[in-house]
Amino acid sequence: MSWQPSELRAALGDARVVLRENVVLAPMTHIRIGGPAALVVEPYNEEAAAITVRTCRELEVPLFVLGGGSNVVVDDRGWPGVVLLLSGLDALVRDGTLLAAGAGVSLPALLRASREVGLAGLEVLCGIPAVVGGAVAMNAGTREGQSFDRLASVTLVDADGEIVEKKRDELSPSYRDGGLGGAIVVQATFDLYEDDPGKIFERFEQSLKKRNATQPVSEKSVGCVFQNPGDQPAGRLIEEAGCKLLRRGAVRVSAKHANYFVNEGGGTCADFLALMAAVQERVRQHAGVELVPEVKLVGQDR
């Protein structure tokens, strides 16, 4: 490691952050895989997040943002730089039909808050185990819709560590990609519409029942491993290629949904990557389709 945590501590000065060294990341991810981060930084306001980004850039410290940990697999060796946790950015503010949420607000908390004040439009995100920042950054969604459908604006920290605000029409999201160019979401504002809280709750329940029936929500996974190639569901291609219950080590393809990989306990990043490669090869041979990962792989390129 060419930098020292003490050097970054000194450079951050009195910024409102909490710093922790040598933190194992596996418990912070849904699939429970990953080694230690050299330093975890938790800012408690947007400016502290911006200062952290600027400082890491100046000191040439590698940095990545860990949100809810629902779509990431961290290398078994961990991460050699800074992991930025935005859980302290958890404010929720309503202004008419606009609902602003900090990056660290979980989607379940956002949906509960919208229902309680009778604001609808976010039902399509029901059941996604993510936080607002990550959901917007990757344009998370379901078959019914995606995060950008109701996005009005987003506050970002850009690569230079500057805080900028972008309106929805200034952005060009695509499938599972918010198109933010590496900028970090610190707040998102959604434009919703008024509806009866009881009706909103009914739609929440319907979405959750459907998700629970078709996806292994109670198991340790990262959600969908691969993007859907065009109109073809990746899960169907994987199942048709005979991959259901295929395993490498302690990681296997889910019996309930073939585009989910499940850690049965003690699984490693090496197991996950080996299973990804095996599934890609079988689908390539069976259907002539190259599956592209949707999951974010952290630290594997060092």
**165-197 tens-digit pLDDT:** 999 999 999 988 999 999 999 999 999 999 999
Last residue within a domain, chosen from 185, 214, 243: 214
% of the chain with per-residue pLDDT over 90: 82
Token reading at 161? 């560590």
| Residue 143 covered by a domain | yes
Q: Please give the helix or strand (H or E) that residue 9 lies within, else none.
A: helix 5-12
- Give how far the C-alpha of residue 52 lies from the chain's centroid of Cα atoms, to the nearest Å: 20
Tell me what percent of the residues of the chain surpass a pLDDT of 70: 99
Is residue 224 situated within a structural domain?
no
Mark whether 18 and 35 lie in a shared domain.
yes
Least confident of 182-196, 209-223, 243-257: 209-223
- Whether residue 160 lies inside any domain: the answer is yes
In this predicted model, what pLDDT tens digit does every residue of 85-139 receive, in sequence order? 999 999 999 999 999 999 999 999 999 999 999 999 999 899 888 999 999 999 9
Assigned domain for 25 exists: yes
Position 70 pLDDT exceeds 60: yes
Question: Does residue 181 lie in a domain region?
Answer: yes
Question: What pLDDT does residue 273 have?
Answer: 97
pLDDT given at position 207: 86
Question: Domain containing 167 — which CATH number?
Answer: 3.30.465.10
Within this chain, do residues 65 and 141 fall inside the same structural domain, yes or no?
A: no
pLDDT score for 229:
93
Q: Kindly state whether residues 143 and 109 are assigned to the same domain.
A: yes
Can you give the pLDDT at residue 143?
Answer: 80
What is the CATH classification number for the domain harbouring 246?
A: 3.90.78.10
Q: What is the mean pLDDT of residues 151-155?
A: 98
| Tally of structural domains, the chain | 3
Query: What is the model's pTM?
Result: 0.91
Q: d(Cα 168, Cα 170) in Å, to the nearest integer? A: 5
CB 70 within 8 A of CB 128: yes
Q: Give pLDDT, residue 216.
A: 84
Please name the residues in contact with 14: beta carbons below 8 A apart, sequence gap of 6 or more: none
> What pLDDT shows up at residue 42?
97
- Distance, CA of 151 to CA of 191 (rounded, Å): 6
Task: Quote the pLDDT of residue 54.
Answer: 96
Q: Which of 180, 214, 248 is the last residue of a domain?
A: 214
Is 161 domain-assigned? yes
**Domain containing residue 39:** 5-85
85, 118, 153: which is the final residue of a domain? 85
Q: Are 44 and 155 within one domain?
A: no
Q: Provide the pLDDT for residue 275.
A: 98
Mean pLDDT of the chain: 94
Euclidean distance between CA atoms 130 and 259, whole angstroms? 18
**Do residues 126 and 185 both lie within one domain?**
yes
In three-state secondary structure terms, 287 is helix
Do the domain assignments include residue 226? no
Considering the domain architecture, whether residues 78 and 48 belong to the same structural domain is answered as yes
Task: State phi, psi for 51 to the nearest 5 degrees.
Answer: -60, -40
163 and 103 housed in the same domain: yes
226 CB-contact burial (10 Å; exposed 0-12 / middle 13-18 / buried 19+): buried
Angstrom CA distances, 153 to 50, 177, 185, 255, 285, stand at 18, 16, 11, 39, 43
Is 229 inside any structural domain?
Answer: no
Task: Give dist(CA 156, CA 151) in Å, integer.
Answer: 14
**CATH number of 27's domain:** 3.30.43.10
Report how far residue 246's alpha carbon sits from residue 239's, in angstroms, rounded to the nearest whole number: 10
pLDDT at position 263 is: 97
Q: What pLDDT score was predicted for residue 129?
A: 85
Instruction: Give the model's confidence band at 267: pLDDT under 50 very low, under 70 low, under 90 confident, else very high.
Output: very high
The Cα–Cα gap between 133 and 57 comes to: 21
The whole-number average pLDDT for the span 231-249 is 95
